[in-house]
Structure formats: structure tokens, C-alpha cells
Structure 1
Amino acid sequence: MAHCFHRLILSMGVLAALLLVWLMPVAIASANSSLPEDSKTALHQGVTAFQNGDYPLAAERFTQAVQSDPGYASAYSNRCLTYLELKAYQTAIADCTQALTLNSANTEAYLNRGLAHYRLHEYEAAIADYTELLKLKPYDYRAHYNRGLAQIDRGTYREAIVDFGEALRQTSPLDRSTMAEIYSDRGLAQLLFNHPQQAIADLTQAIQLNSNHVGALYNRGCAYHQRGNNIAAINDFTQVLQRVPNHAHAYLSRGMIRYEQGAQSRAIADLQQAAQFFQEQGLMLPYQQTLGLIEKMRSPSIAFG
């Protein structure tokens, strides 16, 4: 089991960054004055329920709006966003597709359908939706950012780096939280693309914008290790553990580096902590793998795989 350069570990940065999608302003369409009164009332009620976090009620009200007027594009678009929150991704795709059939210039429907495809691991379809959105709004940083995430999971890291660069250029420098997430994910793409020095630069930017960005700290530790700077790597993993004391992967990575340095007892102590937290978190495969590593450390005659 590789300790730092491991897709499962590194992908934690991506998963955390996905929260950015929900922190961005969402477009809840309002009622058109020419629509039937029942449709407008149902839409208004759906918007209110959505804003209050009552997604089942919002879906019900948007459905009433659609039933009152089957050609109501905004109701389909809003219900698509609601189904995203309810994790009903196939249904969300169907609603966004209907919204686009009724209004092909609905950029939010492309954005939300792309996210639904992404959550279903349909990366090609997600990328296609974000690309269509960018044809309509070339400077929509959300589309570049989300397309970059899909490019990472598709394994096209060079394209992801380009998209994150565009997202950074289109984001307000005053929005430090968003900038930190984009730098963090571009750093991840650089690391996966075997550009550790560029990764370190991006991840350092993310940390400067948000000193508590655990994903950036962890991935920078991986980048330092890839560059052969084990002192800096251990320092970053230690900082991660100061912020998240049960971060099993940080214990695992720090322990493996300490073993490389010949500090066997400290390495085993770190791996024992990693195993404990993996077990507590229900991650049984890495738990068993970590126990195997401990056994190998205690039996020098057993070669590491």
C-alpha cells in the first residue's frame, strides 16, 4: 500500500472541494408574471421551502408548478436543483434535460445537470455539460472549476490544470475561500501530473489563503515527500494532526516516512494510531493493510511490497 502518492488519499482534497459547488450562489428562478396563478404560487412556495432547507416540500411544490403548466421551464430547473440536494441524481438529470428542452439558454440547468452526472461518476457527460455552459457564458468560473474536478477524476490532469487556471482568473481575489479551494485542487492536479514543485506552490497559496485547509496541508506533505523533502513532509502531516487528531492517513504517511528514516519505534506508533482511527471510521481495508505494514516493520525479513 503506497503511503503518500495514493489516489484514495489524494482524492480527499477533491471531495472536500466539491463543497464549493454548494457555497456558490444558486439560481432559483422566480415566477413569470404571464403564468397561471397556481403555477406562480406553487413556484414561490417551492423557492421558500428550498431556501429553508425543506427539500422534500420544495420538490412537491415545484411538481405542482409543473403539473399546472407542463411548459414551465423554471419549475423543472428548480426541481432539478432540489433533486440534487436530495441525491436523486437520475431524476435531477431528467428535470434539467426537460428545462433545457424548453429553454436551451438555461445555463444553470447545464451547471446542475453536470453536477448530477459528476456525482454519478459520468465524467464525460459532466464535462460536456460544463463545456456547453461555457459556450453561453465563457467567464463562468463555476463551470471551469467543476469541469476541472471532472477532468481530475477522468485522469486528464493537464486539462484540469488549465480549467483551474481559468477559474482562478475569473474569481474575485476578495473571495479568499473560493480562491483557496481552487488553488488546492490545482495543486492536487499538479501532484497527480507528477509536477510536485508546482503542486507545492499552489498548495502553499491555498494554505496562505486558508491556514486551516487540511486537504492542502496533507497534499503538500505528499508533494514534499515526492520531492524528497521529508522534514517538510513530516511537518505538514504533523500540522494536519494538530487540526484533525484522528486523521488516519496523516498518521499513516508520517509513519511510513519515519520508517524510511530508520525511526522504527516512532513509525510503528504512528501506524498503530492510523490503524485505530481507520477501524473507528469503518475503513476496514486500510485498517487491515496498516496492520500488515506494522507486522512487516516488526519482521525485517519480510520485504515491503
Structure 2
Amino acid sequence: MGNLWRLFVSVIIVFYLTFLTLSAHSAPLSITQITASDFLELGVDKMRGGNYQEAIENFNQAIEVEKDFAVAYSDRCLAHLQLQDYHQAIADCTQAINFAPDNFEAYLNRGLALYREGDYLNAIVDYNRAVVLKPSDFRAYYNRALARAGDGKDSEAIFDFNLALTQIPQITSLLLADIYNDRGLAHFLLQDTQAAMLDFNLAIRLNANDYRAYFNRGCACGRNRDDFGAVRDFSQVLKLNPSNAQAYVNRGIARYRLGYHLDAMSDLQKASKYFDNQGKRVAYEKTLDLLKNLRQQISSVTEIALL
């Protein structure tokens, strides 16, 4: 499954542009009249359009005009996050916090950058501060849960997932599905398969098009030796995400245990092809080894049956 934890991007603060209507006799604005807020809002517009590098240039201009403009640093952090420049994102949010120590978004965004770098402990420190600043905002609890899970603290992660569920707006069903899915993973890692299954079922009910919840439920079925259920869920994963090599591997194993040996071999062959195409050499080699072992076992069973 690789990194099990889906990373949660902070919601960008939305600023609304106010357009001034000039009369026929009004003079055009000079460059010196453009404020830091004007540049900021241009950058936010670029962010909405996915033009992150151009957004950074606008945020740079805002900061040139107003050196201590904390919001510009915080928003530039978001642009760097989108470009996966986590080091610069951390630096920008740190500067934002220096200028505005109660900047909730800056703590949230710096925590995300730290999480992306694998620095879970410092990410948790930032999320702790965010929780203090806005105890009713589900994002801080959810992000802290992911960081705690990344640090192997699954019980604490479940506690935070529960808190996030009490604060999240109920209309956001897709976000609810994400939280149930991630909480299910924490239960699964704690060997509480029953609780994990309940969460994966809820996630699927809320978002029937998210292949991750089917994948995770398939793994839970496999642990319970419900191979028919595992085949069902991994098949759904492949409908939604046809190049998911690990789903082919897992379905192949379930099919082998059910006695569908030819189907199992076919799944493993497809998995090895996708791993090879994706450049995942370790997974490719392991799948070939598994395929070889299954062939030997099938051959051995056939020989015994013919004696």
C-alpha cells in the first residue's frame, strides 16, 4: 500500500477581489498605487487556477511592498507545497508565524510540510498549536491524526479521527469518507479488524468511487480469510484504478487460496507487468518470485494427484 496515509491539503484562505468602477474622468492607477493586498489577491487567483509558480511571483511582490505581510508568507507556503518544495514551504510558514504568532493557517500549513517531509513529531507540535488556536476546526485534528499514524501512534490517531468527526461539517461526505477510511487503517494496524471493517464500510457508503476504501476492505477480508470478499473488493479496485498492481497481487493470492489457480497466475502476471512499467523494480522482482513459487506449488499438487 506504500504510504497508507493519504496526505490532507489545507483549505486555502479565500480572499475576494473588490473591483473599483472608475468614472470616465478617472486616471488609471499607477504602479505605485498597487498595494500588497492587490498582489496577494492576484496570487490567490493564480493559485485557484493551478498556476503556482506565477502565484509565488505575486506573493513575492506583495512581500516586497509589505515585508511583514504574514498572510502572503502563509499563502506562498501553500504554493510551495503544491510544487513539493517543502523546505521553502516550512521557511515561509515560519516567517508568517514570526510576524503573526496566532496565524492558524500558518501552523496548519507548516505542519503539512513537515508531515510531507516525514517529520511527524514536529508536525504534531504545529497541529497542537493549531488545535489551541481553533479548537472547533476539524482540519487540525485530522492532520494531527495522520501525523500520529505516520509516527506509529495508531491509538492516538484514532482519538484524533474521532475528534475530527465531531467537528467536520456533515455536508462534506467525501471528507467524512476519508476520515473513516483513515481511521479504519489505524484500527487495522491495531489488529482490530472488526472496527476496521465498519469504518471501511462507512467510507464506501459515503464515497463509492474511492478505490482506497475497497482496497483496504479487501485487505481486511483477506485477514479474515474471507477470500470471496477479498476478490470482490480487489476487483472493484481494478475497475476504478486499472493499473493498481498491488490489487492484482492481492486478488491473485485470494484466488489461489480459493483454488482458482489459472486466474491467480493471470493476476500475478498482470501485476508484474504493471510494476515493471511503473519502474518499481523491488515489487516487480518479488512478484516474479511469488509467481514462481505458486507455479511450483501447483505443479507439485498436480504430480501428487497423478500418482
Q: After superposition, give the CA deviation of every residue in 1:24-43 in whole Å (9 maximum; x if it has no partner).
A: x3115689xxxx85423322
Is 2:3 the partner of 1:11? yes
Q: CA–CA distance in 1 between the matches of 2:42 and 2:106? A: 20
Is there any run of 5+ residues in structure 1 with no aligned partner, and where? 1-8
Is there any run of 5+ residues in structure 2 with no aligned partner, and where? 18-32, 301-307
User: Aligned residue pairs: how many?
Assistant: 285
Is 2:183 the partner of 1:186? yes
Q: CA–CA distance in 2 between the matches of 1:29 and 1:302? A: 67
1:217 shift after superposition: 0.4
Equivalent AA in structure 2 for residue 21 of structure 1: V
Percent identity (aligned): 41
After TM superposition, list the pairs within 5 Å mapping 1:165-176 onto structure 2: 165-176=162-173
Is the Cα contact below 8 Å between 2:227 and 2:257 reproduced in 1? Answer: no
Q: CA–CA distance in 1 between the matches of 2:84 and 2:265? A: 41
Q: CA–CA distance in 2 between the matches of 1:301 and 1:264? A: 8
After TM superposition, list the pairs within 5 Å mapping 1:59-70 onto structure 2: 59-70=56-67
Counterpart pick for 1:235 among 220, 229, 232: 232
Equivalent AA in structure 2 for residue 26 of structure 1: I
Q: CA 1:121 to 1:242, structure 2 compared with 1: closer, same or farther past 3 Å?
A: same
Q: CA–CA distance in 2 between the matches of 1:28 and 1:78? A: 10
Equivalent AA in structure 2 for residue 235 of structure 1: R
Give the 3-state SS of the residue equivalent to 1:27 in structure 2. coil
Is the Cα contact below 8 Å between 1:21 and 1:142 reproduced in 2? Answer: no
Deviates more, 1:61-70 or 1:197-206: 61-70
Aligned match of 1:293 = 290
1:244 shift after superposition: 2.4
Q: CA 1:149 to 1:292, structure 2 compared with 1: closer, same or farther past 3 Å?
A: same
Is 2:13 the partner of 1:27? yes
Tell me how large the CA RMSD over aligned residues is.
2.2
After TM superposition, list the pairs within 5 Å mapping 1:204-219 onto structure 2: 204-219=201-216
Counterpart pick for 2:143 among 142, 146, 152: 146
Deviates more, 1:118-127 or 1:293-302: 293-302
After TM superposition, list the pairs within 5 Å mapping 1:272-287 onto structure 2: 272-287=269-284
Is 2:102 the partner of 1:105? yes
Q: CA–CA distance in 1 between the matches of 2:232 and 2:133? A: 45
1:253 shift after superposition: 0.6
Aligned match of 1:119 = 116
The structure having more radius of gyration, on CA atoms, is 2
Q: CA–CA distance in 2 between the matches of 1:45 and 1:273? A: 47
Q: After superposition, give the CA deviation of every residue in 1:242-265 in whole Å (9 maximum; x if it has no partner).
A: 322322111101111222334332
Is the Cα contact below 8 Å between 2:70 and 2:96 reproduced in 1? Answer: yes
